[in-house]
Amino acid sequence: MLTAYFRSFTGERVHMIESAYFGCVQALLKNADGQDVASQKAGVWHRDGGVYVAIAFESRVLIRFEHPVTHDHQEFGPCAGLQLIDGAMWTSDDSPICLARFDDAQQAWHLQTRPAPAMPRCILSRARWV
């Protein structure tokens, strides 16, 4: 199982959700059952009437960005210290690295570390190895 921790503007953990994996489909974060967990807008996450500055994962995470039309994909990981914060996806293996930024207008992730088309989907799963 992968655990997502929702952080408030003060940085404290407010909610915790577990799922076999999480999927980002455009601005929605979904669990493995396909249920909406949260939505992203203007760099913050919305869930059950609350607004959260970040979603953090303490386990090492595998990340797969996908484009369903072109079938392009890019994979990263396992990544430590993954956070979805301020409209971006950050990992902190050795030093903080911004892997991707979410574009509200295009409803897609733009990879920052590799040349690739905008990716409207990504899958986050717990790494089974270190």
| Domain-wise residue ranges, the chain | 2-126
**Residue 61: predicted pLDDT:** 95
Q: Write the DSSP assignment of the chain as a string of letters.
A: -EEEEEE-TTS-EEEEEEESEEEEETTEEE-TTS-EEEEEETTEEEETTEEESEEE--S-EEEEEE-TTT--EEEEEEESS-EEETTEEEE-SSS-EEEEEEETTTTEEEESSS----BSEEEEEE-S--
The CA distance from 128 to 24, in Å, is 20
Look at the pTM and tell me if it is higher than 0.85.
Answer: yes
How high is the pLDDT of residue 49?
Answer: 83
The confidence score (pLDDT) of residue 129 equals: 66
Res 7: pLDDT? 92
Using one digit for the tens of pLDDT, what is the confidence trace for 51-102? Answer: 999 999 989 999 999 998 999 999 999 999 999 998 899 998 777 899 999 9
